Amino acid sequence: MIVRISSSVVPEANLGAYLAHVESNEVVLRASSPGLIAVWLLDRPFVAYVEVLVVSVWESQESMTDSIEKPALPDETKHDLGVIQLEARTYRLLASRDGKPRSNLEHLES
């Protein structure tokens, strides 16, 4: 499996518009791509900016490459929103475990 992490830095004032665009375009497009296992949208504050990550997990390098050939945001949209697009990184997924839900939190406190 392959994990791809795309990172952008957005001025905090433009975060809502940027997230709306990413959710309705990049995340939706990725979700319908063959070979996609999962996609997550994350953010974290960074002074007056917010870093936005799109993390996607793919069955193979080929399925990821076939689905991510065109940029998610046109250059003019990035410029209008003040987005700084960082270089995407790709990793091989070596291990994964699903968490187990805890049915009773009282047991955790004792």
pTM above 0.85, yes or no: no
Render pLDDT for 5-55 as a digit per residue (tens, 0 to 9): 989 999 999 999 999 988 887 787 777 788 889 989 999 998 999 999 999
Q: 2-94: which CATH architecture?
A: 2-Layer Sandwich (3.30)
Give the total residue count for the chain.
110
Q: Read off the tokens for 55.
A: 């993390």
- Alpha-carbon span 33 to 14, nearest angstrom: 28
- Residue 80 in 3-state DSSP? helix
Where does residue 6 rank: exposed (0-12), middle (13-18), buried (19+ CB within 10 A)? buried
Average pLDDT, the chain: 82
Domain segments of the chain as ranges: 2-94
